Amino acid sequence: MGPELQGGDGASLPVGEGCSDAQAGVSRLTNLPLHSGLTHEAHRKEVEQVYLRCSAGTVEWMYPTGALIVNLRPNTFLPSRHLTLCIKPLRGSSGANIYLEKTGELKLLVRDGDLGPGQAPCFSFEQGGLFVEATPQQDISRRTTGFQYELTSRHAGPDLHTLSAPCRPCSHTEVLLAVCTSDFVVRGSIQDVTHEPAQQESAIHLHVSRLYRQKSRVFRPAPEGEGGGWRGRVSTLLECGVRPGHGEFLFTGHMHFGEAWLGCAPRFKDFQRMYRDAEERGLNPCEIGTE
């Protein structure tokens, strides 16, 4: 395996059951179809306000004309200054530019039609809000602008990958904290690594011998004949240079837009040593089996 990988140092926000947005009953997995541009006169430059109450969801704007100001009012007790928002354009999204707006100044996040590999810009609430402006079109009836959004309590970076998978090794403190705060924590080995140059990502295929925690069904029971355990895959950046390697590791990470992203991944023997050392000094932030 290449260098041990570093993840974020905080937990993702929970999404409450029954969360819904004022416009159209949005939940974590449903779309928000906004008012169709076909109901407006094409020459009018109307600006609509949209309010989103969920911690994660999807916005879909059919036949875009004019502009949208997207206001996030999440149902969370955390102050907004502690929140980071990431957006990811839907496949085939077109018809509008997406900006970061603060006090009238615009910074382009996603250009109309520019759906680069793994594009998922992130920013903190203090940096501004979302402004979505339709681009001039001869025929708006075939245009739909859409994106997924996701809130996290981890620190903002320029994009999703800086939150989930920077390539430097984790410190002992970061590993111990990742065990407590990650969306998944498993003990296992690397079966294979496949690379996706077009997406600038690598997929790590794992065989898991012990499942400590998972919030989504990333890891599923292995087929009969494989000696039990679980199988699953996690993603990381292509530039991290992850390779198949022998031995067992402790894999941690977070879910982003339905995909598992690798965080800290020390060798399991190294994790056992740092855990026991912290335990002797009473510095473990949480308990986990190390045998």
Identify whether residues 178 and 277 lie together within a single domain.
Answer: yes
User: What confidence tier does 35 reach under pLDDT thresholds 50, 70, 90?
Assistant: very low
Which pairs from 213-219 meet CB under 8 Å and 24+ separation?
213/182, 213/183, 213/184, 213/185, 214/183, 214/184, 214/185, 214/186, 215/183, 215/184, 215/255, 216/183, 216/184, 216/255, 216/258, 216/260, 218/184, 218/255, 218/260, 219/184, 219/186
Separation of alpha carbons 30 and 275, rounded Å: 41
> pLDDT at residue 291 above 50?
yes
Percent of the chain scoring above 70 in pLDDT: 75
Count the neighbouring beta carbons within 10 Å of the beta carbon of residue 80: 14
> pLDDT at residue 169 above 90?
no
Identify whether residues 268 and 184 lie together within a single domain.
Answer: yes
User: What confidence tier does 102 reach under pLDDT thresholds 50, 70, 90?
Assistant: confident
| pTM of the predicted model as reported, rounded to 2 decimal places | 0.66
Position 33 in a domain = no
The rounded mean pLDDT for the chain is: 78
Identify whether residues 139 and 63 lie together within a single domain.
Answer: yes
Count the neighbouring beta carbons within 10 Å of the beta carbon of residue 279: 13
Identify whether residues 137 and 212 lie together within a single domain.
Answer: no
User: What confidence tier does 126 reach under pLDDT thresholds 50, 70, 90?
Assistant: confident
Alpha-helical regions (H) of 66-145:
none
Q: Which is more confidently placed, 162 or 168?
A: 168
Q: Which is more confidently placed, 169 or 251?
A: 251
Separation of alpha carbons 277 and 159, rounded Å: 35
> pLDDT at residue 34 above 80?
no
Q: Which is more confidently placed, 55 or 40?
A: 55
Identify whether residues 132 and 227 lie together within a single domain.
Answer: no
Q: What is the mean pLDDT of residues 263-269?
A: 94
Separation of alpha carbons 119 and 89, rounded Å: 7
Range of the domain at 257: 172-281
> pLDDT at residue 255 above 80?
yes
Position 59 in a domain = yes
Structure tokens at 203: 């997929």
pLDDT at 120: 77
Strand-pair partners of 250? 187
Pick from 103, 119, 152: which residue ends a domain? 152
CATH for 240: 2.40.50.120
pLDDT at 55: 82
Q: Are 60 and 29 in contact (CB under 8 A)?
A: no
Look up tokens 């970076």; give the residue. Answer: 157
pLDDT at 160: 52
CATH for 144: 2.60.120
Identify whether residues 52 and 147 lie together within a single domain.
Answer: yes
User: What confidence tier does 56 reach under pLDDT thresholds 50, 70, 90?
Assistant: confident
Position 288 in a domain = no
Stated as kind and residue range, the H or E segment containing 237 is strand 230-237
pLDDT in tens, 192-222: 999 988 778 899 999 999 999 998 889 999 9
pLDDT at 163: 52
Residue 249 phi/psi, 5-degree rounding, is -130, 160
Percent of the chain scoring above 90 in pLDDT: 30
Pick from 123, 152, 181: which residue ends a domain? 152
Identify whether residues 69 and 97 lie together within a single domain.
Answer: yes
Position 189 in a domain = yes
Q: Which is more confidently placed, 245 or 13?
A: 245
pLDDT at 8: 31
Q: How many separate domains does the chain show? A: 2
- Which residues have CB under 8 Å from 180's CB, separation 6+? 285, 286
Position 27 in a domain = no
User: What confidence tier does 118 reach under pLDDT thresholds 50, 70, 90?
Assistant: low
